[in-house]
Amino acid sequence: MSTYTTRLIGSELVAERTMAFHFEKPADFVFRAGQAIDLALPTVQEDGEAARHAFSLVSAPHEARLSIATRLRGSAYKEGLRALAPGAAVDIDGPFGSLTLHKDAARDAVMVAGGIGITPFVSILRQAAQLRVARQLVLVYSNRHAEDAAFLDELLALAHDTPGLRVIPTLTQADAVPPGWTGRSGRVDGALLVGLAATAPIYYLAGPPAFVEAMQADLCRQGADEDDIRSEGFYGY
């Protein structure tokens, strides 16, 4: 990994309690869709050093800026991030991570996101749409409530315009499904996932640790090979 100093371009609300932050992209920063960075905030100190946090990149490699998105939970770090003004300097380390799309075009991909775990998949699907990747890509996007679903409108638009891309939003709080909701309701399980791809797929999981662990166990119970299930050991959301 390398360390870069960059500056905040701006920020925006992208879902309930969820903000995206956009930074200048260093000229020599190169990454693969789905990778992550460490973001250090000089304005927040931990043990005498700038506090840092890992975030999956939302932006795709072809984009001119670097973007992250995160839930705002009231921690000193998140409050410091929200308080950054445009032009504020931050340090980033990266890229790192291996939650990147496999190269075997003969195998489909089924991506499963829980909540703000959607971030690496936004990057992957933006890039896949840009490159017109020739394979079936299925995204299952699980949230408790519709207002929690960051980037959903963009993802549905990508699916509409990109052959082979399918986006399946689902709400786990079935009693809170809003009028006009056209996605699923109920919990995501392995039985749903194993039937989504035409060829033996690679599964990608991202989200809170308990969600990822449950999805992996459920897929294995349905006969998926552990070697065909990919997730990250960190949860940079």
For the residues of 152-218, what is the DSSP string, one character each? HHHHHHHHHHSTTEEEEEEES-GGGPPTT--SEES---HHHHHTS-SS-PEEEEESSHHHHHHHHHH
Kindly state the average pLDDT of the residues 65-80.
Answer: 93
Instruction: Answer yes or no: is 104 within a domain.
Output: no
**Chain Cα centroid distance, residue 200:** 23
Asked if residue 91 has pLDDT above 90, the reply is: yes
| Three-state SS at 123 | helix
What's the confidence (pLDDT) of residue 235?
55
Give how many domains the chain has, as a whole number: 2
Is the pLDDT score of 174 beyond 80? Answer: no
| pLDDT for 24 beyond 80 | yes
Which residues are within 8 A (CB) of 75 and not within 5 positions of it... i.e. 6 or more apart?
A: none
Residue ending a domain, among 47, 73, 96, is 96
Mean pLDDT (whole number) for 34-59:
93
226 and 122 in a common domain? yes
Does residue 42 sit within a domain? yes
> Region 187-192: what's the mean pLDDT?
90
Q: What is the pLDDT of residue 197?
A: 77
Give domain status of residue 102, yes or no.
Answer: no
In the predicted structure, residue 1 carries a pLDDT above the cut 70: yes
Q: How much is the pLDDT for 74?
A: 81
* Rounded Cα–Cα distance for residues 214 and 55 (Å): 22
Q: Are 87 and 128 in the same domain? A: no
Do 224 and 191 form a contact (C-beta atoms < 8 A)?
no
Is there a domain that residue 236 lies in?
A: no
Residue 15: which of 169, 179, 210 has the closest Cα?
169
Specify whether 119 is located in the same domain as 33.
Answer: no
Token pair 């060829």 is found at 199
pLDDT given at position 233: 57
Work out the pLDDT band at 198, boundaries 50, 70, 90.
Answer: confident
Which DSSP category does 148 fall into? G
**Burial level of 175, CB count in 10 A (0-12/13-18/19+)?**
exposed
pLDDT band, very low/low/confident/very high, at 237 (cuts 50, 70, 90): low
Between 169 and 180, the more confident residue is 169
pLDDT, position 135: 85
> Higher pLDDT residue, 176 or 22?
22
Q: Verify that 217 and 114 share a domain, yes or no.
A: yes
Where are any strands of DSSP class E within the chain? 2-15, 18-24, 36-46, 49-56, 65-71, 89-96, 109-114, 137-143, 165-171, 184-185, 202-206, 229-231
Residue 234: its pLDDT value, please?
53
How large is the average pLDDT for residues 87-97? 96
Confidence at residue 176, expressed as pLDDT on a 0 to 100 scale:
76
Q: Structural domain of residue 216, as residue ranges?
A: 109-231
Q: How confident is the model at residue 47 (pLDDT cuts 50, 70, 90)?
A: confident
At 85, the amino acid letter reads A
* DSSP state for residue 33 in the 8-state scheme: T
- At 162, the pLDDT band (50, 70, 90 cuts) reads very high
